[in-house]
Structure 1
Amino acid sequence: MRSILSLVTASFLTLALAAPALAQGAASAPVTPMTPDVIAHFDQVLPSADFIRREVMVPMRDGTKLYTVIVMKKGTKGGPILLSRTPYDAYGSTHRVASQRIVDILEAMDAEFAEDGYIRVYQDIRGMHRSEGTYIMNRPIAGPLNDTGIDESTDAYDTIDWLVKNVPESNGKVGVIGSSYLGFTTLMAEINPHPALKAAVPESPMVDGWMGDDWFHNGAFRVTSLSYATTQVVNKGDGGGEFALGKGDDYTRWLEAGSVGDFAAKLGIAQVPGVRKWLENPAYTRFWSEQAVDKWLAARPLTVPTMLEVGQWDQEDSYGAPAVYRALEPKDKANDMVSLVIGPWRHSGANHGGSSLGALDFTGDTAREWRVKYLKPFFDHWLKDAPDPHTPPVLTYATGINQWQESPRWPMGTNTPLYLGADGSAGFARPAAAGHDDYVSDPAHPVPFIPRPIDMDDGAQWKPWLVHDQRFVSGRPDVAEWQTAALDKPVHIMGAPEVDLYAATTGTDSDWVVKLIDVYPNDVPESADQGGRPSMAGYELPIGIEIFRGRYAKSFAQPAALKPGQVVHYHWALPNVNHVFLPGHKLKVQVQSTLFPLYDRNPQTFVPNIMFAKPADYRKATQSVWFGGDKASAVVLPVVAE
């Protein structure tokens, strides 16, 4: 006869083993030590969550289905839809944190919208992550370069059409927003737009990858493009395309590699389609010029209210937003359909914290201030019938004095040349006598774009590099400098400074890099804070840095050799800025011929395709920068009268 204790113990074990089955219903099999532990799905969203989240596959006109995530607060009715179309994983964009609060799971920039009844939608573009179809980087618009009839504009149209018909909580109005590649897809949604698309905010959009966005700047190739191409195309962007090179100084790595073509061959990526597009098309032929989004938009009516945004120190896409503004503004007869925003930010910085950048401090969180005071009221007006916020035609942040300024147009300043002169001087008076300063550019010892060691995958180096103190290259024999006396009154510029450079080389090709710099007084009262940020005493703050590849002096589409010793007039623009050079500060201009390894080295010997230059092609050259007389090199500043 078993004891009472044994009976109780046996009964308890039976109930314990049966409990999971009972919890799942009588039909579930009892769990055993050999029950498989892998489950197909676990829903992190609990009944207590304050949001609803749906995953759907939205069909396009060709039958391809795109993975789409729809998120909204519980109880939403009559909410506008805010759409972002991304190559960077819609699932991840809606799973930032495992939480039951909508403001936690979404991007920081979504918070104010999510809490105010907006329906937030993220979608993987075709061929990426969970979407079907074939990925083509910056897929050209249907037309001469694309005979499929399918592009990002048609996909946006079909997506919006599906959303307004299948999201019962919406009011039938849609806005699009996104930065960088998402800025490109935002602009594409405005081409032949769906009637329900009522407003768009392209942030730091990729517009012209050759002229001045991600891939080239005035013909000089950005080597970071190579790693971007492989990470995008391997495994639908889900990982596995990173270069397995370990840690080390990218300066040394690229110097030892040789040309871009040599490095691509070494990595085994020379046949990757995205890489081949760059290697085989280094000039601005139809291949690139007919992909320029600003040209597509200029050829079409302006029907969607658009707020264009870019960071003043955008290290990736400084060109696109101002280029689109120039294309659209002539169509905006009442000056109320297109606006331009330039904030004191890095690339995509408007969507994150905006209280500082590198060594610079601003007054409060400038990014959140823009989102709350300008961005959301803009969308509220067009998507929720809120009162007109009277969005300023142009909103820019004046660095130097740290304040937002509204203006009726852009640029605002009057072109005022800052001339280079003798003995390293610079000033607003044109030098009467002509002369030149020389330096030797050696491709074997290129000028680094930031202090070494360089890791271009390190966000702490990459994101703020455009505000890095330029004293680290002062004194190099291959960097020429000109500087004003200390200012006795402020100099306020609003626009894109333009480079007028008269220069010659003993080589047959050359790059020219020009920097406009704000030199702080050496006794400035700012000192390093407790966070270890550098002192601003004597700081040399770059206001604009840009490069120009000499072979394109006469034609971007047809490169030509330079004639040794012949003075050539080069003209190009620095990024758009609103900046005040304060009294006591000085203006400095630096000129050099390498900015490495951000840009590939120019061999300084003309070769038909610079991507495949050979070691013997890389040669020293003496560079001559002319000033005064009829060869008066200058940086033309858009000066605003105070």
Structure 2
Amino acid sequence: MRFTRTAALALAIGLSAFAAHAQTPIGYDTLPKSFTQPASPAKDYDRRVVMMPMHDGVKLYTVIYVPHGAKNMPIIFTRTPYDAEHHRRSKGDDHAQHLIDELSLADEDFVRAGYIRVYQDVRGKWGSEGAYLMTPPPVDSGFNKTGADDTTDAYDAIDWLVKNVPETNGRVGMIGSSYEGFTVVMALLKPHPALRAAVPESPMVDGWMGDDWYHYGAFRQPNIDYFIGQTGGRVPVPVHTLPGDQYANDLAIGSAGDLARSKGADQLDAWKIMKEHPAYDAFWKAQALDHLIEKMPLTVPTLWEQGLYDQEDMWGAIHSYRAWEPKDKANNMNFITMGPWFHSQVNRPGFGLGPMTWSGDTTAEWRRDIVTPFFNEHLQNDGKPAHTPPVFIYDTGANHWDRLESFPTSCEQGCAIASKPVYLAAGGKLSFNAPAKAAGEMRFTEYVSDPAKPVPYRERPVLDRENQDGIGWREWLVGDQRFVDSRTDVVSFVSEPLTEPMKLSGEPVVHLVASTSGTDSDWVVKVIDVYPDTDVEPASGEGAYPGVVPHPYNMSGYELPMATDIFRGRYRTSFEKPEALKPNAPLAYTFGLPMIERTIPAGHRIMVQVQSSLYPLYDRNPQSFVPNIFNAKPADYTKATQRIWHTSGDASYVTLPIVPVQ
């Protein structure tokens, strides 16, 4: 009875409430006469957009982020051709409440450490005024008549910032990757006194010798699309590409010059300049920043960064570091990091690459433990010593960071440990013993190179550059090289299985003795870590980044490249003056490969592969000498018989930077 009364009372109360709610009349118009929205939570930063004047009156679009309450705070500065607004997570006018959410992943540690963050469009791009020159030569080079470059603009911008941002302590650090890294290095040619620290990441330093445009004279063909996008307008223009396999598409069109014309690039001065300067002439030498900074005093503490698997700018950081290292007598001004990363991966998560999973988020570790303390020491008011390691480099085999006093550890000249030659021997063997004279010895290994069927640089189909299905553009430097093993125009030299671990720490150097039946030739050399057939797990652990679907890599027999590069034969004796090769004559070619830091386990084998094309990453060599390959005609492209010599008098070898395993 008690339960029934209680239930009845509750029901009555509920019906009463429903009735009261139901009595609220519905008007003829549901729109109120007025409505006041609660105030949005206050942002914890000020965002200031200014058109900053340069010395010649040109104004550059600049975005300044100042944390609320900032006082005597240092500045981190980036100059970019890729839109100063691009470094935000929020889009349009929808700005985040907190600065740490407004800026990019790479800025999080700077926000936590207390920095004013500044981004600026380079002149002529996006919101900035003036004429645009792509990676402009210095004004005193004789190839820049605008009266300004990224050196003068950086100086003017820093001067303006320290005088017009009242919250700053007057100290500025610069950071940037790729082209943005180039702008940092340009600022170091005449640094403003307020520039107290610099971090050039994967900087474009020498576009002919080994960064974006060429490698030892071989042209990097996908850059045609970059020229169009970057110089077709103040804001990049869309680049139209045919769907499907770019290997087949480009091959059907013809030479690199034909490809450029088919895309309309012949309208652009950037492409015209490229065509006019195929050799390493005065134009390229005048803007080779590693040689320019070599002449400058080392006054700004500089931390260079380069990925060990950088597929775009493999040259700049290490050669700039080496240029300045003799000036760093106390070993406290010139630093370098080489991480297990693709190009500009430092600004993204760094848990792994291709088949390899690292010990953690290596890029986050570097930003947190190396970059931010480095800037703090030189820019913050309390300036605590960061104890920055002179060399911070990742051993991709042992899967840990190495802290070294100098790098490379091993090389042919000037290093503490001399490199050791490994010989390309008869019968596809790779041997640490020099060939000896013997009756009936095989004098060479032969293959036929056909420009109509060039060797692809990665497994086909070669889709869009950002394709992430399997090994795409960012990961091709760690792609399994077995996809070319069955080709008759690729020759491989393989060692016996290692009986104990081997550590490589430095620069492999190719000493190739080769002949061609043609009058020009390209030579591609790869140094490869061959996994045993018994290995079935991914290279470095679980085979997946945290939160990412596992990669289906089976490492049994995997042929992992450690260093790959290409050399255009016409520059054998002079990069400045190309000359035809003497047909069928064994000739010497010497060139360095990218740096390695890797411990190779026992049971693995070392392989050296040689071929004569790497397409469509590099344009095809006609294999008959023409004055300018960009102008090559279909009839110029001819088959050639290539020979890799390995006699006692003409031995081909690669010096490997072998050091003791720790």
What TM-score comes out, normalization by structure 2 length?
A: 0.89
SS of the aligned residue for 1:115 comes to: helix
Q: Map residues 30-429 of structure 1 onto 2, 5 A cutoff.
A: 47-96=41-90, 98=94, 99-143=96-140, 144-236=142-234, 238-242=235-239, 244-384=240-380, 385-413=382-410, 414-429=418-433
- Give the counterpart letter for 2:599 in structure 1: V
Q: 2:199–2:302: 8 Å Cα contact kept in structure 1?
A: yes
Q: 1:79–1:171: 8 Å Cα contact kept in structure 2?
A: yes
Per-residue CA deviations over 1:56-85 (Å, capped at 9, x if unaligned) read 111000000101111133222221100000
- Give the counterpart letter for 1:134 in structure 2: A
- Give the counterpart letter for 1:93 in structure 2: H
Distance 1:73 1:215 in 2: 40
Q: Map residues 585-624 of structure 1 onto 2, 5 A cutoff.
A: 585-624=604-643
- Give the counterpart letter for 2:496 in structure 1: A
The equivalent residue for 2:449 is 441
Q: 1:526–1:536: 8 Å Cα contact kept in structure 2?
A: yes
Classify 1:586/1:127 alpha carbon distance in 2 versus 1 (closer, same or farther; 3 Å): same
Match of 1:502 among 505, 508, 513: 513
Q: 1:54–1:69: 8 Å Cα contact kept in structure 2?
A: yes
Distance 2:115 2:303 in 1: 18
Kindly indicate whether residue 512 of structure 2 is the aligned counterpart of residue 515 of structure 1: no
User: Which stretch shifts more, 429-438 or 564-573?
Assistant: 429-438
Kindly indicate whether residue 558 of structure 2 is the aligned counterpart of residue 539 of structure 1: yes
Classify 1:9/1:360 alpha carbon distance in 2 versus 1 (closer, same or farther; 3 Å): closer
Per-residue CA deviations over 1:349-375 (Å, capped at 9, x if unaligned) read 112111110111110011111111111
SS of the aligned residue for 1:477 comes to: coil
Q: 2:537–2:553: 8 Å Cα contact kept in structure 1?
A: no
Classify 1:392/1:628 alpha carbon distance in 2 versus 1 (closer, same or farther; 3 Å): farther
Q: Map residues 16-31 of structure 1 onto 2, 5 A cutoff.
A: 16=32, 19=34
Distance 1:505 1:9 in 2: 91
Q: CA deviation at 1:456?
A: 4.1
- Give the counterpart letter for 1:531 in structure 2: P
Q: CA deviation at 1:9?
A: 6.3
Kindly indicate whether residue 470 of structure 2 is the aligned counterpart of residue 472 of structure 1: no
Q: 1:177–1:186: 8 Å Cα contact kept in structure 2?
A: yes
- Give the counterpart letter for 2:166 in structure 1: P
The equivalent residue for 1:567 is 586
Q: CA deviation at 1:301?
A: 1.1
Classify 1:327/1:182 alpha carbon distance in 2 versus 1 (closer, same or farther; 3 Å): same
Distance 1:409 1:365 in 2: 24
Q: 2:520–2:580: 8 Å Cα contact kept in structure 1?
A: yes
User: Which stretch shifts more, 413-422 or 558-567?
Assistant: 413-422
Q: 1:232–1:241: 8 Å Cα contact kept in structure 2?
A: no
Distance 1:393 1:519 in 2: 31
Q: CA deviation at 1:458?
A: 2.4
Per-residue CA deviations over 1:439-463 (Å, capped at 9, x if unaligned) read 0000011100111111242242111
Distance 2:89 2:395 in 1: 36
SS of the aligned residue for 1:463 comes to: helix
Q: 2:200–2:305: 8 Å Cα contact kept in structure 1?
A: yes
Q: CA deviation at 1:247?
A: 1.4
Per-residue CA deviations over 1:409-445 (Å, capped at 9, x if unaligned) read 1110221111111111102111113621000000011
Distance 1:77 1:508 in 2: 67
Structure 1 runs, 4 residues or longer, greater than 6 Å off:
none
What TM-score comes out, normalization by structure 1 length?
A: 0.92
Distance 1:95 1:610 in 2: 43
Q: Map residues 523-534 of structure 1 onto 2, 5 A cutoff.
A: 523-526=534-537, 531-534=550-553
Q: 1:307–1:339: 8 Å Cα contact kept in structure 2?
A: yes
Distance 2:332 2:427 in 1: 49
What is the aligned length? 610
Distance 1:630 1:350 in 2: 46
Distance 2:242 2:527 in 1: 35
Distance 2:146 2:268 in 1: 22
The equivalent residue for 1:493 is 504
- Give the counterpart letter for 2:59 in structure 1: K
User: Which stretch shifts more, 71-80 or 543-552?
Assistant: 71-80
SS of the aligned residue for 2:265 comes to: coil
User: Which stretch shifts more, 541-550 or 379-388?
Assistant: 379-388
SS of the aligned residue for 2:249 comes to: helix
SS of the aligned residue for 1:390 comes to: coil
Q: CA deviation at 1:104?
A: 2.2
Q: CA deviation at 1:335?
A: 1.1
Per-residue CA deviations over 1:578-602 (Å, capped at 9, x if unaligned) read 1111101000000000100000000
Distance 2:635 2:219 in 1: 20
SS of the aligned residue for 2:630 comes to: helix
Q: 1:73–1:115: 8 Å Cα contact kept in structure 2?
A: no
Q: Where in structure 2 are there 5+ consecutive unaligned residues?
A: 1-25, 411-417
Distance 2:481 2:43 in 1: 50
Q: CA deviation at 1:473?
A: 0.4
Classify 1:136/1:159 alpha carbon distance in 2 versus 1 (closer, same or farther; 3 Å): same
SS of the aligned residue for 1:329 comes to: helix
Distance 2:60 2:314 in 1: 30
Distance 2:425 2:101 in 1: 56
User: Which stretch shifts more, 502-511 or 458-467?
Assistant: 458-467
Distance 1:355 1:387 in 2: 29
Distance 1:356 1:95 in 2: 23
Q: CA deviation at 1:525?
A: 4.5
Q: 2:74–2:169: 8 Å Cα contact kept in structure 1?
A: yes
Classify 1:374/1:427 alpha carbon distance in 2 versus 1 (closer, same or farther; 3 Å): same
Q: CA deviation at 1:47?
A: 4.5
The equivalent residue for 1:28 is none
Distance 2:263 2:408 in 1: 44
Distance 1:353 1:425 in 2: 40
Across the aligned residues of Structure 1 and Structure 2, the Cα RMSD in angstroms comes to 1.9
Distance 1:588 1:74 in 2: 57
Q: CA deviation at 1:234?
A: 2.5
Q: CA deviation at 1:105?
A: 2.1
- Give the counterpart letter for 2:339 in structure 1: G
SS of the aligned residue for 1:57 comes to: strand
- Give the counterpart letter for 1:640 in structure 2: V
Q: 1:81–1:175: 8 Å Cα contact kept in structure 2?
A: yes
Q: 1:397–1:404: 8 Å Cα contact kept in structure 2?
A: yes
Distance 1:551 1:586 in 2: 33
